[in-house]
């Protein structure tokens, strides 16, 4: 069954949404876990992170952003998000882990978009080079082109000199496969469900 143009246009996004949902389903059981290892010095035992509605001041938020004992870099952005989680959810680790999963899913979508753009760019460049070689190799251009520069490759349509080595649909499929594999890669499990590893996201 052939898909119409509208279905072909939306299919990659539907498949990407399915990948995101599948990844969320895989990680969902892990949201019930508790605090472990470095979660304690960085979050649970770090009083600067424990901002509440009665103590929400600019100074408190700045101090929380610079309160991580993990390194001299302080990881201010990650620490600030920990403070936001504590502000809205207290010491319950569930919203912290949920935030990590959401960040992971957003990163997966960004991987898809970035890889698709790069693959399309590679395909266009390869097609341009192939078009230029094809144009220069024609008998008329071999005779007339000795003292004349060839016209830019972009001025010749791809339909005349062959399809790009990696067309848009192929780039989209490959980007979708890689992004899905990355989101479901087991090595990411600890980085996502181990709350303090948000610093590495």
DSSP string, 151-174: PPGGGS-HHHH---SS-HHHHHHH
Domain range for 56 is 14-200
For position 167, what pLDDT does the model report?
73
Question: What does the block give as tokens for 132?
Answer: 């230029």
Residue 133 domain-assigned? yes
Residue 148 domain-assigned? yes
12 vs 28, which has greater pLDDT?
Answer: 28
Residue range 24-71, pLDDT digits in tens: 999 999 999 999 999 999 999 999 999 998 888 899 999 999 988 877
Alpha-carbon torsion angle 114, 101, 177, 163, nearest 10? -20
Q: How many CB atoms are closer than 10 A to CB 121?
A: 12
8 vs 17, which has greater pLDDT?
Answer: 17
Counting residues of the chain whose pLDDT is more than 70, the rounded percentage is 74
Residue 2 domain-assigned? no
Distance CA 171, CA 164 (A): 11
Interior angle at CA 98, CA 44 and CA 33, nearest 5: 60
Residue 119 domain-assigned? yes
Residue 135 domain-assigned? yes
pTM: 0.76
For position 49, what pLDDT does the model report?
94
Residue 6 domain-assigned? no
When divided into structural domains, the chain yields a total of 1
Residue 160 domain-assigned? yes
For position 69, what pLDDT does the model report?
85
For position 154, what pLDDT does the model report?
45
3-state secondary structure of 31: helix
For position 169, what pLDDT does the model report?
82
CA distances from 101 to 53, 148, 166 (A): 25, 59, 32
Q: What is the pLDDT confidence band of residue 96, given thresholds at 50, 70 and 90?
A: very high
Residue 32 domain-assigned? yes
For position 68, what pLDDT does the model report?
84
Residue range 132-179, pLDDT digits in tens: 555 555 555 555 555 555 445 444 444 444 444 567 788 888 999 999
């Amino acid at each position: 069954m052939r898909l119409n143009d509208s279905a072909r246009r939306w299919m990659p996004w539907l498949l990407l949404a399915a990948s995101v949902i599948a990844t969320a389903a895989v990680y969902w059981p892990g949201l019930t876990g508790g605090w472990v290892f470095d979660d304690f010095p960085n979050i649970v035992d770090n009083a600067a992170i424990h901002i509440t509605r009665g103590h929400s001041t600019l100074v408190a938020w700045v101090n929380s952003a610079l309160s991580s004992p993990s390194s001299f870099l302080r990881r201010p952005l990650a620490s600030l998000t920990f403070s936001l989680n504590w502000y809205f959810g207290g010491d319950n680790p569930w919203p912290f882990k949920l935030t990590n999963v959401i960040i992971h899913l957003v990163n997966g979508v960004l991987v898809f978009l970035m890889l698709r753009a790069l693959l399309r760019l590679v395909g266009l460049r390869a097609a341009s080079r192939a078009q230029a070689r094809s144009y220069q190799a024609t008998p008329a251009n071999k005779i007339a082109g000795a003292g004349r520069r060839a016209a830019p490759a972009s001025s010749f349509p791809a339909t005349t000199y062959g399809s790009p080595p990696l067309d848009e649909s192929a780039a989209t499929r490959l980007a979708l496969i890689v992004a899905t594999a990355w989101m479901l890669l087991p090595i990411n499990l600890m980085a996502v469900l181990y709350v303090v590893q948000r610093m590495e996201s």
